[in-house]
Structure 1
Amino acid sequence: MSDTCAVLHDPRGLIEAELPLDRAPYEALITAVLAWKDPDLAPRDYEQIALQFTGHARAVAADVRRLAAALPKGEGRGALAEVVLREADSRLSAPLKGTARCVQNRARLVQALYTRLDCLTESVASTA
């Protein structure tokens, strides 16, 4: 084992942009969580699921930011993305609670970010 390490400097997030999100498991989890009627989980279980959604929401938001920045200034879709991102930042800054409602709110946030990501992906593809 070496005593040296390399520091990665990627201020524009290009390496992260090359890594695709593993979307299918999160979409399945969103579907399951939003279908809950009266779940009976321990608070720590709700917190763990909410943490999963929080981390994934941050990753999706980074992709939304990157694609929105690629659109021409004044593009309506980019402006809408900024609104969604501000809302996401606000909701992600709220403390987690060990409740089903908190988990469902995080699931809806990831769902909204994916919707915006899909719209931006189409927009960037059509302008390219």
Structure 2
Amino acid sequence: MSDTHLVLHDPNGLIEAELPLDRAPHEALVTAVLAWNDPDLAPRDYEQIALQLTGHAHAVAADVRRLAAALPKSDGRGALAEIVLREADGRLSTPLKGTAHCVQNRARLVQALYGRLDRLAEPAPAAT
């Protein structure tokens, strides 16, 4: 057996789009983190939790982008998604810190992204 590997080239993220988010454990983590009241963890532990939430925030944001891009221009949910995504991009570009405050900010971001994802997944409201 040779030591070869296959490199996937998926610039449009189509493979990732087919994979469902592992939502339940991340929502449980968000709930736990937001319930913290003066936790006493090592900075390294905060950084690991923040990294986990950051990676998941990127994945949820990608799903929000895909759903928003598929909406007609007249659907206001797309504009609201763009606002949430701009905010997410800004928050995700800030460096991680080994603090509870940083982890809780990432948890709130994941929560907001899931809220927007759920609204985008709903059927379009009927025009009146």
Same-fold call, TM > 0.5?
yes
Instruction: Tell me which protein shows more helix as a share of its residues.
Output: 1
Listed as ranges, the gaps of 5+ residues in structure 1 are none
User: TM-score with structure 2 length normalisation?
Assistant: 0.91
Residues of 2 paired with 1:5 and 1:28: CA distance? 35
Q: Deviations over 1:11-63 (max 9, x none)?
A: 22111111001100011111111000110000110000000000000000000
How far did residue 3 of structure 1 move? 5.0
Greater Cα shift, 63-72 or 3-12: 3-12
Corresponding residue SS for 1:72: coil
How far did residue 86 of structure 1 move? 0.5
Residues of 2 paired with 1:96 and 1:4: CA distance? 35
In the alignment, which residue of structure 1 is the partner of 2:37? Answer: 37
How far did residue 8 of structure 1 move? 2.0
Matched, 1:66 2:66: yes
Determine what percentage of the aligned residue pairs are the same residue. 84
Residues of 2 paired with 1:35 and 1:9: CA distance? 40
In the alignment, which residue of structure 2 is the partner of 1:28? Answer: 28
How far did residue 4 of structure 1 move? 4.5
In the alignment, which residue of structure 1 is the partner of 2:85? Answer: 85
In the alignment, which residue of structure 2 is the partner of 1:48? Answer: 48
How far did residue 9 of structure 1 move? 2.4
Residues of 2 paired with 1:119 and 1:35: CA distance? 24
Residues of 2 paired with 1:100 and 1:13: CA distance? 32
Matched, 1:8 2:8: yes
Q: Deviations over 1:74-111 (max 9, x none)?
A: 32100000000000000000000110000000000000
Listed as ranges, the gaps of 5+ residues in structure 2 are none
Residues of 1 paired with 2:41 and 2:93: CA distance? 24
Residues of 2 paired with 1:19 and 1:67: CA distance? 14
* Consecutive aligned runs of 4 or more in structure 1 exceeding 6 Å deviation: none
In the alignment, which residue of structure 2 is the partner of 1:121? Answer: 121
